[in-house]
Amino acid sequence: MNISRNIFLIFICFFVSLDSFAERIKDITSVQGVRENQLIGYGLVVGLDGTGEKTKYTEQTFRTMLARFGINVPQGSQLKLKNSAAVAVHATLPAFAKAGQTIDITVSSLGEAKSLRGGTLLMTPLRGANGNTYAIAQGNLVVGGFGAQGGDGSKISVNHQTVGRVPNGATVEQTVATNFLTADHLVFNLNEPDFTTAVRLAKAINKTIGPNTARPVDQTSIQVNAPRDSAQRIHYLSLLENIEVEPAESVGKIVVNSRTGTIVIGKHVNLKEAAVAHGNLVVKIKEVQEVSQPAPLSQQGTTVTTLDSGIELDSGNTRMFHFRPGATLQQLVEAVNAVGAAPGDVMAILEALKQAGAINGELIVI
């Protein structure tokens, strides 16, 4: 009984370990035609406590706003706009957002305003890349930053005071058109393009739904047959996105951040046979002339001059480590750490190995 129980537990652990790398399709792909859209607008924040600005475009914006309400400001008149600020407003419109729904907005100062704290954003149209208005923004700003200034010029500030948010501050006016419900097929796009993953994903769908349901189009896209009826298509997509797939392991990469000294080496980075020296290596070659002549009283032979070369190697604290073919990431790290190399030295070593063709992997410097 105990033996069979142990075997069962081992089988369960083995089964779980096999599935531990599986991912749902919804976690590794996006559906073509289902995407967010960026919106942007230009507006005016009022109600500031003397922390606004007085610039030409702020004054022009203020005059235009008053003109829309039938108020004409005489040309040449001086406007006091310390309580106003010109701002950029941006938001993200979710896929399938419908008219009447609300979205969050972010408001950022464009000019010399010191703080947007306590301000109110006036009605601002938010447009897409095509120039169409998709939402209208307005509301009281929530600013996380705080600042104070003393009479002697001393001041203190916490976080940014020139950027604020308005939760649910924009109302959607129209839906972005998409062919998701009218296209003949559904297309899944991999978040990390890979031919092997694309093939595995298509096989997983065909195994669950039926043969010839899905086919990989390229390294990124997998095309799937889908019903025309919109309700059926939604249920169908819900089934597909929960199918589990085991993604292929990524290509071996070494990512080097030259600014911060951060080095990340992927699992599948291997080395070909190579030798690396770290530190200063001085090689001295000396040549000494020597005279060779025949034996005394000899009637044969002639006197000749020869060069005797001597090589001196001064390695100082230099250390050299040798990699056999197929050396792994762990061996590389251990060897580099053993010589006490700094991040800058490690970068130089990695770049030299790549130039020598000794790295099986992609070296990316950012």
1, part of any domain: no
Residue 250 is which amino acid? S
Tell me: do 206 and 149 sit in the same domain. no
Looking at residue 6, what is its pLDDT?
Answer: 38
- Do the domain assignments include residue 12? no
Say whether both 187 and 168 belong to one domain: no
User: What per-residue confidence (pLDDT) applies to 321?
Assistant: 57
Tens digit of pLDDT for each residue in 185-244? 899 999 989 999 999 999 999 999 999 999 999 999 999 998 888 888 899 999 999 999
Domain assignment present for 133: yes
Domain count across the chain: 3
- Res 100: pLDDT: 94
pLDDT at residue 4 in the model: 37
- 202: buried, middle or exposed (CB in 10 Å: 19+, 13-18, 0-12)? buried
- Residue 61: domain span: 37-172
Indicate whether 107 and 69 sit together in one domain.
yes
Give pLDDT, residue 190.
Answer: 93
Assigned domain for 307 exists = no
**Residue 257, Cβ density class (10 Å: 0-12 exposed, 13-18 middle, ≥19 buried):** middle
* CA 187/CA 154 separation, integer angstroms: 59
pLDDT of residue 22: 84
The string of DSSP letters for 20-48 reads: TT-EEHHHHEEETT---EEEEEEEEEE--
47/151 same-domain check: yes
Cα separation values, 262 from 44, 257, 364, Å: 42, 5, 12
Q: What is the DSSP string of 100-127?
A: T-EEEEEEEE-SS-S--TT-EEEEEEEE
Which of 235, 226, 200, 281 has the alpha carbon at shortest distance from 29?
Answer: 200
Structural domain ending residue among the three candidates 200, 227, 245: 245
Is 157 a member of any domain? Answer: yes
Whether residues 240 and 258 share a domain: the answer is: no
289 domain residue, yes or no: no
Which residues of the chain fall short of a pLDDT of 50? 1-20, 150, 152, 280-287, 309-315
Examine the domain organization and report whether 59 and 95 are in the same domain. yes
Structure token digits, residue 327: 């050396």
Same domain for 198 and 123, yes or no, is: no
How much is the pTM? 0.66
User: Domain check: are 92 and 157 in the same one?
Assistant: yes
Rounded CA gap, 51 and 113, in Å? 6
331 and 237, same structural domain? no
Amino acid at 296: P
pLDDT of residue 263: 75
Same-domain check for residues 121 and 227: no
Predicted local confidence at residue 309, as pLDDT: 46
- 78 falls within a domain: yes
Q: Are residues 64 and 149 in the same domain?
A: yes
Segment 20-52, tens digit of pLDDT = 478 899 999 999 988 899 999 999 999 998 888
* Residue at 60 is within a domain: yes
Which of 128, 146, 172 is a domain's end point? 172
C-beta separation of 207 from 246 below 8 A: no
Same domain, 233 and 135: no
For position 217, what pLDDT does the model report?
A: 94
Instruction: Give the pLDDT of residue 323.
Output: 58
Which of 151, 172, 193 lies at the terminal end of a domain, its last residue? 172
Sheet with 262-265: strands ordered across: 262-265, 253-257, 362-365
